Chain A
């Protein structure tokens, strides 16, 4: 066990603040990706959602990581407007339920959190790996996190493995034809473009790993 073997509410808060920062910083890149194969509002919607999340967090004092994530979930669901609201919102909602009442998240709890979040997105969006959606980032990330945890990695190592896999997963959407979402109307024309939801998911995973420190 290392010093960073568990992550608490402070980490949850700094992760979400980092999410808001990185989404803001990458807003125009996400808009650009979404203009290529979607309706062009992904960066703007997600930025608005996380800005609202920051305001909510400033006005409340969540006691546990699950409390933080539940607040994130309900705020994203009610403020984002596009598909990303229900999808990311459901991820945080189902993830928070899996770690309800836990003060300090170890590698095991983080894997449970990520897997439940991913399952929530799958249940909501009914997408599979290869459909050119955010699931192409989420599922490899969850698998990498689990494999890292099973080989004895600590919380930070688990999140780093997840972030690496999510970034690879997001890149893997480029050659795909979309089978879900607005891009599915484009057929072959979606080939060569990265899925914006997979890209924003990868940003959130990277933010999680970076704020977990080492």
Chain B
């Protein structure tokens, strides 16, 4: 049971396209399009949004992604008409529809909670979400080995280097697989300095075949996380 997504766009094609794009990285997540009006024109449909929420909601909650302003109005109005129990677990994300939907879908695929999916969507919208210096405000991950404020140093940390051998590099599907695996561990993990649990940051590194990854883990399960991620990269992600 994962958090579901509803994609509300004025354009049926945009909604369908976002569903197609996001589903590629999140095969098990219910991502439902609610694009255009009932008769196929540009606009948003209260009924389409209502029906999409009903299909996306498995009980774990639903995040609604919207494009232009009145899509938000239609979605909010649909929320007003939901039963209290469903309304409490249905949230509208404040995020760009494409980047936010992809980030939310990947988070949902990893089994993230409703709140975590919402954070993943909205952090995709910040201008600093794609900078490459690794200080993501939404996911505090202290640099491994650095003293904490109380003076202690992470006992468990692990560092390894590995070359990318697969054709696509760390992009799209391989990046999603990498993030999904990293998210399964409690440890804080970075790859070349960026959060290994943030799909957009990993993809923004633009790593291609032949590049070297530096994986650093700290905290509980650091060793296991680094070993598993190294093995995944070494396997070539099932590509040539």
- Interface residues, chain A, with chain B CB atoms under 8 Å away: 39, 41, 45, 77-79, 81-83, 85-87, 89-90, 124-125, 180-182
| Contact count band on B | 10 to 19
Q: Can you name 27 A-B pairs with beta carbons within 8 Å?
A: A77-B77, A78-B45, A78-B46, A78-B47, A81-B37, A81-B38, A82-B70, A83-B70, A83-B73, A85-B46, A85-B73, A85-B74, A86-B46, A86-B70, A86-B73, A86-B76, A86-B77, A87-B73, A89-B77, A90-B77, A90-B80, A124-B73, A124-B76, A124-B77, A125-B73, A180-B69, A182-B70
Find out whether the CB atom of B68 lies under 8 angstroms from the CB atom of A182.
Answer: yes
Say what secondary structure dominates the interface of chain A. Answer: helix
Q: A79-B38, A90-B77 are in contact. List 7 more A-B contacts (CB 8 A).
A: A41-B43, A81-B37, A81-B43, A82-B44, A83-B70, A85-B73, A85-B77
Question: Which A residues lie within 8 Å of B74 (CB)?
Answer: 85-86
Q: Are B77 and A83 interface neighbours, CB within 8 A?
A: no
With A77-B77, A89-B77 in contact, do A83 and B69 touch (Cβ < 8 Å)?
Answer: yes
B74-102 interface mask toward A, CB cutoff 8 Å, 1 = contact, 0 = none? 10110010000000000000000000000
Quick check: B43 and A77 within 8 Å, CB to CB?
Answer: no
Give the residues from 85 to 130 in chain B that come closer than 8 angstroms, CB to CB, to chain A. Answer: none
> Closest residue of chain B to A79, judged by CB?
B38
B78 to A: closest C-beta gap in Å:
9
**In this complex, what residue of A is CB-closest to B68?**
A182
User: B45 — which chain A residues lie within 8 A by C-beta?
Assistant: 78, 81
Contact B69 A81 (CB under 8 A): no
A81 — which chain B residues lie within 8 A by C-beta? 37-38, 41, 43-45
Q: Which of B42, B45, B73, B76 counts the most A-chain CB atoms under 10 A from its CB?
A: B73
| Chain A residues within 8 Å of B77, by CB | 77, 85-86, 89-90, 124
**Quick one: which of A78, A90, A181 has the most chain B CB within 10 A?**
A78
Q: Is the CB of B73 within 8 A of A41?
A: no
Complex CA–CA separation, A90 to B45 (angstroms)? 15
- The distance in angstroms between the C-alpha atoms of A41 and B68, with both chains bound, is 15
User: Top 6 closest A-B pairs, CB basis?
Assistant: A81-B43, A83-B70, A86-B73, A86-B77, A81-B37, A78-B46
| Interchain CA distance A46-B155 in the complex, whole Å | 65
Complex Cα spacing A85 to B80, Å? 14
Q: Mark B27-51, 1 if CB is under 8 A from A, else 0.
A: 0000000000110011111110000
The residue in B41, B44, B46, B76 that gathers the most chain A C-beta atoms within 10 A of its C-beta is B46
A86 to B66, CA, bound (A): 15
With A85-B74, A86-B73, A181-B69 known as contacts, the answer to whether A39 contacts B46 (CB < 8 A) is: no
Name, among A77, A86, A182, the residue most crowded by chain B CB atoms within 10 Å (CB to CB).
A86
Contact assessment for B43 and A82 in the assembled complex, using a CB-CB cutoff below 8 Å: yes
Chain A CB within 10 Å — which of B70, B74, B76, B80 has the most?
B70
